[in-house]
Amino acid sequence: MMNIKAHVKGALLAAMLSATALQGAFAAEDTIKVGILHSLSGTMAISETTLKDAMLMLIDEQNKKGGILGKKIEAVVVDPASDWPLFAEKARDLIEKDKVAAVFGCWTSVSRKSVLPVFKELDNLLFYPVQYEGEESERNVFYTGAAPNQQAIPAVDYLAENEGVERWVLAGTDYVYPRTTNKILEAYLKAKGVAAEDIMVSYTPFGHKDWQTIVSDIKKFGSAGKKTAVVSTINGDANVPFYKELGNQGIKAEDIPVVAFSVGEEELAGLDTTPLVGHLAAWNYFQSVNTPANAEFIKTWKAYTKDDKRVTNDPMEAHYIGFNMWVKAVEAAGTTDPDKVIDSIVGVSVPNLSGGYSTMMPNHHITKPVLIGEIQSDGQFETVFETPGLLVGDEWSDYLPDSKDLISDWRKPMSCGNFNVATGKCGGKGS
């Protein structure tokens, strides 16, 4: 009997030692690295830090399920510090030095434009989680945020149809996303019969703080006897003094409503929302969405952050969707090889947090519902409008003459980001 026990104990000890050795090898060698490229300092940290935390949570949750392809996922976090050229440098380091399989990151379009050449040159994958201006479709990028037809245009339609808006202030931060989005909105509004004199356009730099003159101009523009609204593409921490000045000058939602495309729960957490109640935001997700999937996501988020006051927001949901799509595509391909993942991800559907499924389309954009929410005193949004179904992201606007005939389809054999249906030709292998 003693010999049997000794034999069993020896076998158990050997198994334990073997498992320990394997665990060490797993930790050292058998991991899949994923890059997180979000500003943790500078003007965009107010928005992007939460996305870093969200990605760490998603990776942690996936590792609890066994990782991917039998391997642990390892996050590599860098801080491009709201410095657009630094985004490209950090992206190159992630791919060349850290050997990441994919990168989840960027917020502003200027940061995305900065890294595009790097992802094309090094053939890696970027999952981009924020609403943007469209006019782009890249083989190495997956756009999980909204295109203009999934946010900006439905917001304008809502204001015109439900609020009777006839005059429009297009206020944005001075970079590519606001300028291109407003170019599309101007063309759309004019096609709907809005006169040029009923459109006011204003741009300010990142981090702009002195809003007194601009808000005064908005107030004057809105005093012409026609219902006026502000369509805001103001990004980052400039939103804090902008909304504060609206309150200072007594601009209320019933007078001149503001619909924002870059103000969500995270940004409102830093504001006194009292004077903002009734103003609007257009997104594809709100924390207040009442679904079992969202309730579970919020519960997991608060437990992970150990902070019951931490909020969720739309770009977090976009990362949730994009990360799960990447996992599913990698499992289908049996490899993290970017070319194989690109081939396997089109058509992949995963649950979103609004109660449906989002699908990766051939143009590398996803299907999304559109929600318009009204700011509440607690910093949350009450949904006042939702599309009856999911919209496919339109990468090339139908309202700009240079892009109205373009489509994108990254499936073989077309594999083209800007195919001209009028000429039957691909304009190049990128956007």
Residue 16 lies in a domain: no
Q: Looking at the structure, do residues 249 and 304 belong to the same domain, yes or no? A: no
Q: Looking at the structure, do residues 164 and 254 belong to the same domain, yes or no? A: yes
Instruction: Count the domains in the chain.
Output: 2
Residue 192 lies in a domain: yes
Q: What is the pTM of this model?
A: 0.88
Residue 387 lies in a domain: no
Residue 411 lies in a domain: no
Domain that holds residue 201: 149-288
Q: Looking at the structure, do residues 177 and 243 belong to the same domain, yes or no? A: yes
Q: How many residues does the chain have?
A: 431
Final residue before a domain boundary, out of 229, 254, 288: 288
Q: Looking at the structure, do residues 284 and 157 belong to the same domain, yes or no? A: yes
**Cα 158 to Cα 40: distance, rounded to the nearest angstrom:** 34
**Cα 100 to Cα 364: distance, rounded to the nearest angstrom:** 20
Residue 73 lies in a domain: yes
CATH, residue 183: 3.40.50.2300
Q: How many CA atoms lie within 13 A of 235 on its CB side?
A: 25
**Cα 94 to Cα 85: distance, rounded to the nearest angstrom:** 15
Q: Looking at the structure, do residues 36 and 125 belong to the same domain, yes or no? A: yes
Q: Looking at the structure, do residues 66 and 153 belong to the same domain, yes or no? A: no
Q: Looking at the structure, do residues 142 and 155 belong to the same domain, yes or no? A: no
Q: Which of 322, 284, 316 is nearest to 302 (CA)?
A: 316
Q: Looking at the structure, do residues 267 and 330 belong to the same domain, yes or no? A: no
Residue 218 lies in a domain: yes
Residues with Cβ < 8 Å from 95, sequence gap 6 or more? 35, 103, 118, 119, 122, 124
Q: Looking at the structure, do residues 279 and 170 belong to the same domain, yes or no? A: yes
Cα 57 to chain center, whole Å? 16
- pLDDT for 427 equals 87
Final residue before a domain boundary, out of 352, 367, 382: 367
Q: Looking at the structure, do residues 105 and 185 belong to the same domain, yes or no? A: no
- pLDDT for 26 equals 41
Q: What is the pLDDT along the chain (431 residues), one digit of tens a residue?
A: 334 334 433 443 444 344 444 344 344 458 999 999 999 999 999 899 999 999 999 999 999 999 999 999 999 999 999 999 999 999 999 999 999 999 999 999 999 999 999 999 999 999 999 999 999 999 999 999 999 999 999 999 999 999 999 999 999 999 999 999 999 999 999 999 999 999 999 999 999 999 999 999 999 999 999 999 999 999 888 888 998 899 899 999 999 999 999 889 988 887 788 878 999 999 999 999 999 999 999 999 999 999 999 999 999 999 999 999 999 999 999 999 999 999 999 999 999 999 899 999 999 999 999 999 999 999 999 999 999 899 999 999 999 999 999 999 999 999 999 999 999 999 865 55
Tokens of residue 358, six digits = 């989002």
Residue 413 lies in a domain: no
Final residue before a domain boundary, out of 367, 394, 409: 367
Residue 396 lies in a domain: no
Helix (H, G, I), strand (E, B) or coil at 411: coil
Q: Looking at the structure, do residues 121 and 175 belong to the same domain, yes or no? A: no
Cα 381 to chain center, whole Å? 18
Q: Looking at the structure, do residues 326 and 355 belong to the same domain, yes or no? A: yes
